[in-house]
Chains A and B, each alone.
Chain A
């Protein structure tokens, strides 16, 4: 129970939408969302297929708690093969779309094939149909959302769609739902557009019932909400400052990647921090932050609702950007700001708006601009490439120009849309790309937080903070404090975070709850809702099974243990300042132990014994 037990299979080549029962054997092994959809993907595609070809499939999946009153229970994930990394892509989003899909009666949608013409999928409960989207093609995410709401005359409909960047093949395009929430990473939007699928619009009025033990469920989720409310991070820090609560903290510990990760502290951090977003502006006396906003069922509400100063050069002549929209999260503020050396809060907010409007992952976009800036300052890229723009670190004008080019893939935007690995390779300087498996780093420098180095190197979707966030332990002391500069014990720490995260990502809940919740808090919520036994131990087992399954897919797709590494810059160039001064990331002293704990060979392959232990498919 809690699952609807129905999945929708959409064949875009044939134009068919067919309901089929959920494979409950797999649900019992993989729970839902991330894990369960990966099990379907592994079963249905050739791992070596072209990620942007018709043989790839794309799955939008909810978890068993999606659409319920469990705090943060509104998540969905997009699972597919990534065009950026060549491995598994799994991007998680909040907002309201996931809960609406569940309320329409669907656990997941599997998209297969490729449509001969632009289409969108419209779902009204059990009825699903592919509709002509020729009038939507060439429109931004924001316009698409508006046109679909007007066309269907239903303000309560929820829309997930791709923007113009994805249509043009940008390799880091997101799927944007509810205007400013995104399944952001690994190019899942690029895959969607490659299938000529512009949008999915959903209206669900069936609701989510089927709770195994409703009374115990309500007790469990009430207890969970109380823990979130009383925790300093989820009850105070995140509502007040959003994830941007981290900007000054991470800068102080010397783990703030700066100017394409050449440095580990940014002198302008305080100007782009969560605290800075509360400061009244000189022009109109209003702060950048209007208020916080919550995703479906979320009792934390870390979301930022912001405006750009109307007098700022980026929007002065553009009244369409004068209103409120999704503001800066820490990752966006870091990638667009610290990594490019830009400390102009309004510029970053504007660029973040455009990333939402046309569906680009602001982490990869910002980090790719940072790489381009380093190429420019090294004289590899010149104004001949940029059409005269001085693409220098610290230039807010260049950053704003870059996002406008990238959004529509014009001029140098087409180069940026390759992502930093392909961009740096194209210009003959691959060492300047700050990526793992082709995906750009998030906002924690592994020279200052050693465990994150191992987490990045072994992440199944390339560099990412959301596969194993040991920052919790190494910096924030959750569940217990470990030394961020030590490597001892980090292999076990990374594995524990990776496994627990995979379970949470498969439940329909937000990973941010784990600042306060352990699996002991989460387990009763799942166990009282779903058939079967979902003890904390079982969740760890499911999480590890998911991790092994993703790894297995990646290995079959052609990745190897040699890809479990970091750019030389992080392994050889020491941090220049802060508590980590003089340190490199000592990945080599953590990786062998990690392989051993995972039950892999010394070259990172799954052993037959490990495969059998977790019941992985052949």
Chain B
């Protein structure tokens, strides 16, 4: 069964545990600036919103790459950057409509979320379950449950 990251911004407190878990997994240090998931704070609105790659099926980044350095992971469905092939041309960063592929000036390669190979560390680190890793075919389940709960099924109701 393929799984997807499922983000509920309403539960996010903006603590950045996810960003640190991501950077630790991928870069070996606690470094939010190197995280592939980013939490955005909208101060006046009182909102925190985690944002990362949605793993598009017809991924713009993958199609745009001139050296085929972005490939589909057959197990997780993620679009993974093959660092050895990436030439750092950044075309994918332009092609991605969501901004979730970014260039890492230290390595000269691009980086993006690869679902940590099927065990996304942001999910384990999130203290409020704002980020979960769920059945890709049922990402709407939580919202459906919330609406279902509002259904009045009393007799004659």
Chain A residues close to B by CB (< 8 Å): 67-69, 71, 96, 99, 103, 156, 179, 204-209, 225, 229, 239, 290-299, 301, 303, 305-307, 323-325
Q: Report A-chain residues with C-beta under 8 Å of the C-beta of B17.
A: 69, 297, 299
Q: Does B37 contact A (CB under 8 A)?
A: no
Contact yes or no, B16 A209, CB < 8 A: no
Contact yes or no, B29 A207, CB < 8 A: yes
Q: Report A-chain residues with C-beta under 8 Å of the C-beta of B14.
A: 293-294
Q: List 16 A-B contacts (CB under 8 A).
A: A69-B30, A103-B32, A179-B43, A205-B34, A207-B23, A207-B31, A207-B33, A208-B31, A209-B29, A229-B127, A291-B10, A293-B46, A294-B14, A295-B15, A298-B13, A305-B46
Contact yes or no, A293 B30, CB < 8 A: no
Q: Does B27 contact A (CB under 8 A)?
A: yes
User: What is the CA–CA distance of A69 and B27 in the complex, to the nearest angstrom?
Assistant: 14
Distance of A250 from chain B, by nearest CB (Å): 25
Q: Does B24 contact A (CB under 8 A)?
A: yes
| B27-45 interface (Cβ within 8 A of A) | 27-34, 43-45
Q: Which applies to chain A's interface (DSSP): helix, strand, loop or mixed?
A: loop
User: What is the CA–CA distance of A207 and B22 in the complex, to the nearest angstrom?
Assistant: 12
Closest to B125 in A: A69
Most chain B C-beta atoms within 10 Å of own C-beta, residue among A68, A103, A206 = A103
Q: Report A-chain residues with C-beta under 8 Å of the C-beta of B24.
A: 69
Contact yes or no, B43 A323, CB < 8 A: yes
Contact yes or no, B33 A156, CB < 8 A: yes
Q: Report B-chain residues with C-beta under 8 Å of the C-beta of A67.
A: 30
A299 and B15 in contact (CB under 8 A), knowing A103-B33, A209-B29?
yes
Closest to A302 in B: B13
Please pick, from A207, A299, A306, A325, the residue contacting B27 in the complex, using a CB distance under 8 A. A207
Q: Report B-chain residues with C-beta under 8 Å of the C-beta of A307.
A: 46
Contact yes or no, B43 A292, CB < 8 A: no
Q: Report B-chain residues with C-beta under 8 Å of the C-beta of A69.
A: 17, 20-21, 24, 30, 125
Please pick, from B13, B28, B31, the residue contacting A293 in the complex, using a CB distance under 8 A. B13
Q: Does B48 contact A (CB under 8 A)?
A: yes
Contact yes or no, A290 B46, CB < 8 A: yes
Q: Report A-chain residues with C-beta under 8 Å of the C-beta of B15.
A: 294-299, 301
Contact yes or no, B34 A324, CB < 8 A: no
Contact yes or no, A208 B29, CB < 8 A: yes
User: What is the CA–CA distance of A323 and B32 in the complex, to the nearest angstrom?
Assistant: 27
Distance of A97 from chain B, by nearest CB (Å): 13
Q: Report B-chain residues with C-beta under 8 Å of the C-beta of A239.
A: 13
User: What is the CA–CA distance of A207 and B106 in the complex, to the nearest angstrom?
Assistant: 13
Contact yes or no, B13 A292, CB < 8 A: yes
User: What is the CA–CA distance of A159 and B14 in the complex, to the nearest angstrom?
Assistant: 17
Apart from A294-B13, A324-B45, what are 19 other A-B pairs with CB-CB below 8 Å? A103-B32, A206-B31, A207-B30, A207-B34, A208-B31, A291-B10, A292-B13, A297-B17, A298-B13, A299-B127, A301-B13, A301-B15, A301-B127, A301-B128, A303-B13, A306-B46, A307-B46, A323-B46, A324-B44
Most chain B C-beta atoms within 10 Å of own C-beta, residue among A96, A156, A207, A325 = A207
Distance of B53 from chain A, by nearest CB (Å): 19
Contact yes or no, A205 B30, CB < 8 A: no
Most chain A C-beta atoms within 10 Å of own C-beta, residue among B23, B43, B45 = B43
Q: Report A-chain residues with C-beta under 8 Å of the C-beta of B16.
A: 96, 296-297
Closest to A70 in B: B30
User: What is the CA–CA distance of A205 and B19 in the complex, to the nearest angstrom?
Assistant: 13
Q: Report A-chain residues with C-beta under 8 Å of the C-beta of B44.
A: 323-325
User: What is the CA–CA distance of A594 and B33 in the complex, to the nearest angstrom?
Assistant: 48
Q: Report B-chain residues with C-beta under 8 Å of the C-beta of A323.
A: 43-46
Q: Report A-chain residues with C-beta under 8 Å of the C-beta of B34.
A: 205, 207
User: What is the CA–CA distance of A96 and B23 in the complex, to the nearest angstrom?
Assistant: 17
Q: Report A-chain residues with C-beta under 8 Å of the C-beta of B127.
A: 71, 225, 229, 299, 301
Closest to B16 in A: A296
Closest to A306 in B: B46
Closest to A68 in B: B30
Q: Report A-chain residues with C-beta under 8 Å of the C-beta of B33.
A: 103, 156, 204-205, 207
Q: Report B-chain residues with C-beta under 8 Å of the C-beta of A298.
A: 13, 15
Q: Report B-chain residues with C-beta under 8 Å of the C-beta of A229.
A: 127
Contact yes or no, A205 B31, CB < 8 A: yes
User: What is the CA–CA distance of A273 and B33 in the complex, to the nearest angstrom?
Assistant: 38
Most chain B C-beta atoms within 10 Å of own C-beta, residue among A71, A239, A294 = A294
Q: Report A-chain residues with C-beta under 8 Å of the C-beta of B29.
A: 206-209
User: What is the CA–CA distance of A14 and B33 in the complex, to the nearest angstrom?
Assistant: 33
Q: Report B-chain residues with C-beta under 8 Å of the C-beta of A156.
A: 33
Contact yes or no, B46 A209, CB < 8 A: no
User: What is the CA–CA distance of A96 and B32 in the complex, to the nearest angstrom?
Assistant: 11
User: What is the CA–CA distance of A209 and B20 in the complex, to the nearest angstrom?
Assistant: 11
Distance of A574 from chain B, by nearest CB (Å): 43
Contact yes or no, A103 B31, CB < 8 A: yes
User: What is the CA–CA distance of A452 and B31 in the complex, to the nearest angstrom?
Assistant: 40
What 5 pairs across the A-B complex have the smallest Cβ distances? A207-B31, A323-B44, A324-B46, A294-B15, A207-B29
User: What is the CA–CA distance of A294 and B30 in the complex, to the nearest angstrom?
Assistant: 18
Closest to A207 in B: B31
Closest to A320 in B: B44
Q: Report B-chain residues with C-beta under 8 Å of the C-beta of A293.
A: 13-14, 46, 48
User: What is the CA–CA distance of A96 and B39 in the complex, to the nearest angstrom?
Assistant: 13
Question: What 0/1 readout, one digit per residue, does chain B (124-149) give for beta carbons within 8 Å of chain A?
Answer: 01011000000000000000000000
Closest to A209 in B: B29
Q: Report B-chain residues with C-beta under 8 Å of the C-beta of A324.
A: 43-46
User: What is the CA–CA distance of A298 and B31 in the complex, to the nearest angstrom?
Assistant: 16
| B104-136 interface (Cβ within 8 A of A) | 125, 127-128
User: What is the CA–CA distance of A208 and B24 in the complex, to the nearest angstrom?
Assistant: 10
Distance of A102 from chain B, by nearest CB (Å): 9
Please pick, from A71, A99, A291, A297, the residue contacting B46 in the complex, using a CB distance under 8 A. A291
Distance of A464 from chain B, by nearest CB (Å): 26
User: What is the CA–CA distance of A484 and B28 in the complex, to the nearest angstrom?
Assistant: 48
User: What is the CA–CA distance of A266 and B95 in the complex, to the nearest angstrom?
Assistant: 61
Q: Report B-chain residues with C-beta under 8 Å of the C-beta of A103.
A: 30-33
Q: Report A-chain residues with C-beta under 8 Å of the C-beta of B45.
A: 323-324
Closest to A179 in B: B43
Contact yes or no, A297 B20, CB < 8 A: yes
Distance of B28 from chain A, by nearest CB (Å): 7
Closest to A289 in B: B46
Q: Report B-chain residues with C-beta under 8 Å of the C-beta of A294.
A: 13-15
User: What is the CA–CA distance of A343 and B33 in the complex, to the nearest angstrom?
Assistant: 43
Distance of B35 from chain A, by nearest CB (Å): 10
Q: Report B-chain residues with C-beta under 8 Å of the C-beta of A295.
A: 15
Q: Report B-chain residues with C-beta under 8 Å of the C-beta of A297.
A: 15-17, 20
Question: What 0/1 readout, one digit per residue, does chain B (64-98) give for beta carbons within 8 Å of chain A?
Answer: 00000000000000000000000000000000000
Q: Report A-chain residues with C-beta under 8 Å of the C-beta of B21.
A: 69
User: What is the CA–CA distance of A340 and B122 in the complex, to the nearest angstrom?
Assistant: 45
User: What is the CA–CA distance of A67 and B31 in the complex, to the nearest angstrom?
Assistant: 8
Closest to A208 in B: B30
Distance of B74 from chain A, by nearest CB (Å): 29
Q: Report B-chain residues with C-beta under 8 Å of the C-beta of A306.
A: 46
